[in-house]
């Protein structure tokens, strides 16, 4: 008899965003005249840059002419896009060959799909609080998970100890949800651990473009030894507003090998078997992000989000509340006041000042007393929310 993948029975229901939606809907139905200020969303609110729109439009018209029409694209990405992504890394003094760049339809897809090239008996370490998809993708595969929790004492930047037995390691820096960023020395510790043990780091760089401190690493490949132990997974979702358009890229160094198997070659084989490439139109739109004008325009949008973050951080400073993130990340992670739980604090903000955030509990047990604000919202709503937070929380 057919047996489904019974690992799915081990998945916990994810109530986080469902509960937020239910609670805000119920509040709005009861109070239709009250405007909710949404600082919970992880989605972007600004449209695509004009350079991207022009490139997308032009690519659509290319598909209308026999001479410029393109059918299937190369499975690992359009060579010209792989080239400009490699050049983007070289502007940051990281040497990557275009053959090491795989164009994808986004980071979420890759963070789960990449597991296909690793043995199911491997143990996966997830630094927490964490983006929930890491845990679920590994549960679906039946992998053993080590939850490495963090807290205020280590600035939400945990490290393995000598007894940690991790084969695959998820690291997200700048982090969702905490906004914490590893420095060079911190990432070096992870790289040394991985090389000593033969582990592989899956480095989620979805928020690299938000790093403004030039001393902080934006790629794991800025760290000596990382080419022998790391895969970097990145996305244009948050850097360039592609959440709905969908485009990302994954970097697998040519020399990354385990047990005589080359991981870059394995991923080529995986992609050429399981995909038929990303659409020509989207890849043209993505390439526009890496032009001089495209970069200038996407940075303008990031500036608006960063200003939102500053507005929230100033409010929390004024209230004397502990938080991390915000400066080099789009998320601000605050400690709930007066020992409140994260759902209790959610209810307080919704009912008293009509501000919606994200309870920390949704990102792992160590997030229970914390709360996430996102800077991706509307600037005017963010300013109003900050004023209301000050009124409510200033002691
Ligand atoms: N990684 C992290 C840490 C994220 O927060 C997100 C989206 O919120 C993703 C990956 C997913 O990115 P994408 O839209 O490219 O799938």
Pocket test for ligand 1, best of 131, 175, 203, 289 (most atoms within 8 A of CB): 131
What's the pTM? 0.96
Whether 15 shows a pLDDT value over 80: the answer reads no
pLDDT of residue 13: 78
320-333 residue pLDDT tens: 999 999 999 999 99
| 140-151 residue pLDDT tens | 999 999 999 999
Ligand 1 within 6 A of 235 CB? yes
Mean of the per-residue pLDDT values of the chain: 96
**Dist. CA 205 → ligand 1 center (Å):** 9
Question: Which positions ≥6 away from 91 have C-beta within 8 Å?
Answer: none
Tell me the Cα Rg of the chain. Answer: 21
Domain 50-292 has CATH 3.40.640.10: yes
| Average pLDDT, integer, range 7-23 | 87
> In degrees rounded to 5, what are phi and psi of residue 253?
-60, 145
DSSP 2: -
The response to whether residue 206 sits with its C-beta less than 6 Å from ligand 1 reads yes
pLDDT tens-place string over residues 85-112: 999 999 999 999 999 999 999 999 999 9
* The pLDDT of residue 18 is above 90: no
Which residue's alpha carbon is at the smallest distance from atom 5 of ligand 1? 176
Ligand 1 mean position to 236 CA, how many Å?
9
Q: What is the pLDDT of residue 371?
A: 98
CA of 170 to the centre of ligand 1 (A): 13
Q: Is the pLDDT of residue 41 over 80?
A: no
Residue 133 CA to ligand 1 center (angstroms) comes to: 9
Q: What is the mean pLDDT of residues 224-237?
A: 98
The response to whether residue 130 sits with its C-beta less than 6 Å from ligand 1 reads: no
Closest atom of ligand 1 to 243 CA is: 14
* 173 CB near ligand 1 (under 6 Å): no
Strands 370-374, 358-359: pairing is: antiparallel
Q: How far is the CA of 162 from the centre of ligand 1 (A)?
A: 30
Q: What is the pLDDT of residue 1?
A: 92
Q: Given a cut of 80, is residue 286 above it in pLDDT?
A: yes
Angle of helix 79-90 relative to helix 280-289, nearest 10 degrees? Answer: 20
How many angstroms is it from 307 CA to the middle of ligand 1?
Answer: 21
How far is residue 297 from each of residues 58, 81, 86, measured CA to CA in Å? 18, 19, 20
Which residue has a Cα nearest atom 1 of ligand 1? 206
pLDDT at 247: 98
Q: pLDDT digits over 171-213, tens only?
A: 999 999 999 999 999 999 999 999 999 999 999 999 999 999 9
Assigned CATH for 16-45+294-393: 3.90.1150.10
Q: pLDDT band at 341, cuts 50/70/90?
A: very high
What lies within 8 Å, CB to CB, of 367 at 6+ separation is: 128, 129, 177, 342, 359, 360, 361
- Ligand 1 mean position to 207 CA, how many Å? 9
Residue 394, token pair as written in the block? 């200033």
Determine whether the shortest distance from the Cβ of 248 to ligand 1 is under 6 A. yes
d(CA 150, CA 87): 35
Q: So where are the chain's domains?
A: 16-45+294-393, 50-292
Taking only the tens place, the pLDDT of each residue in 21-38 is: 999 999 999 999 999 999
**String of DSSP letters for 172-238:** ESS-TTT-----HHHHHHHHHHHHHHT-EEEEE-TTGGG---TTS-SSGGGSTTGGGTEEEEEESHH
Q: Compute, in angstroms, the gap from residue 260 CA to the centroid of ligand 1.
A: 31
The predicted-structure confidence for 265-283, as pLDDT tens digits, reads as follows 999 999 999 999 999 999 9
Distances (CA, A) of 100 to 95, 111, 233, 250: 10, 17, 12, 8
Candidate from 113, 237, 247 with most ligand 1 atoms within 8 A of CB, to mutate? 237
Residue from 111, 235, 245 to probe ligand 1 pocket by mutation (most atoms less than 8 Å from CB): 235
């Amino acid at each position: 008899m057919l047996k489904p993948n019974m690992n799915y029975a081990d998945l916990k229901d994810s109530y986080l965003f469902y509960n937020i939606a239910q609670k805000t809907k119920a509040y709005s139905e009861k109070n239709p005249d009250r405007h909710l200020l949404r600082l919970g969303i992880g989605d972007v609110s600004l449209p695509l840059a004009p350079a991207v729109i022009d490139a997308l439009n032009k690519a659509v018209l290319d598909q209308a002419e026999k001479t410029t029409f393109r059918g299937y694209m190369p499975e690992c990405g359009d060579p010209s896009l792989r080239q400009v992504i490699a050049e983007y890394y070289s502007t940051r003094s990281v040497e990557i060959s275009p053959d090491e760049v795989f164009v994808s339809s986004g980071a979420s897809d890759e963070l789960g799909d990449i597991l296909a090239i690793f043995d199911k008996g491997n143990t996966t370490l997830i630094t927490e609080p964490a983006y929930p998809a890491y845990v679920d993708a590994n549960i679906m595969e039946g992998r053993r998970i080590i939850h490495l929790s963090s807290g205020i004492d280590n600035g939400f930047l945990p490290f393995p100890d000598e007894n940690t037995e991790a084969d695959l390691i998820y690291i997200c820096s700048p982090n969702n949800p905490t906004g914490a960023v590893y420095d060079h020395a911190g990432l070096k510790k992870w790289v040394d651990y991985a090389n000593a043990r033969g582990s592989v780091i899956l480095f989620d760089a979805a928020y690299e473009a938000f790093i403004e401190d030039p001393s902080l690493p934006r790629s794991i490949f800025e760290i000596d030894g990382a080419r022998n132990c790391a895969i970097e997974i990145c996305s244009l979702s948050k850097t360039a507003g592609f959440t709905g358009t969908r485009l990302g890229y994954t970097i697998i160094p040519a020399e990354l090998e385990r047990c005589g198997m080359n991981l870059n070659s394995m991923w080529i084989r995986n992609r050429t078997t399981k995909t038929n490439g990303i659409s020509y139109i989207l890849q043209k739109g993505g390439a526009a992000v890496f032009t001089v004008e495209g970069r200038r325009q996407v940075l303008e949008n990031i500036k608006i989000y960063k200003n939102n973050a500053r507005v929230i951080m100033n409010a929390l400073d004024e209230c004397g509340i502990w938080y991390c993130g915000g400066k080099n990340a789009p998320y601000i992670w605050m400690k709930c006041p007066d020992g409140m739980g994260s759902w209790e604090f959610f209810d307080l903000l919704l009912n008293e000042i009509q501000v919606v955030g994200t309870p920390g509990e949704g990102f792992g047990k160590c997030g229970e007393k914390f709360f996430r604000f996102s800077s991706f919202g509307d600037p005017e709503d963010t300013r109003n929310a900050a004023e209301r937070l000050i009124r409510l929380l200033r002691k």
